[in-house]
Amino acid sequence: MADEYERQILEFGLFRLNDKELVRHGITQVLSEEGPDWVVAWSKSTPEDKKAIRDAIEKTNVSCYGSCGHGRAAWYVPREQFFAARKALSESTEVRSLCIRVVTPTFR
């Protein structure tokens, strides 16, 4: 129960920030036609990493897409689904074993 409450408070505070402020907290935002998307993970651009991320996120019915280049990939989800996707990725044994970096908001 406390985790859900803390998540809601965190979500509420982060949703009010602009792009520059989000970056200070470790979150990259891009605007899509549907609204803001946030990077939820960074990985290598390998078939294994792609499969691990998609398998973990698909279990939560969260839509995601990757942007790949120079051997690296950023994985985006709709802002409102960031915490559900982040939780799924963090709990995935396969994601952890591949050393995929799941985004964790920071507060400095």
- Domain ranges for the chain, please list them: 2-102
Residue 80 is given by DSSP the state G
| Residue 5 confidence (pLDDT) | 52
β-strand 35-44 against 29-32: which pairing, if any?
A: antiparallel
User: What percentage of the chain carries pLDDT values higher than 90?
Assistant: 56
Whether the pLDDT of residue 6 is over 60: the answer is no
With both helix axes pointing from N to C terminus, report the angle between 82-91 and 2-15 in degrees, rounded to the nearest 10: 130
Confidence label for 9 from pLDDT (cuts 50, 70 and 90): low
> Residue 16 pLDDT more than 50?
yes
pLDDT greater at residue 40 or residue 106: 40
How many percent of the chain have pLDDT more than 70? 87
The CATH class for the domain spanning 2-102 reads: alpha beta
- Confidence check: pLDDT of 7 > 50: yes
Q: How confident is the model at residue 1 (pLDDT cuts 50, 70, 90)?
A: very low
Angle at alpha carbon of residue 104, lines to 37 and 30, rounded to 5°: 20
pTM of the full predicted structure?
Answer: 0.82
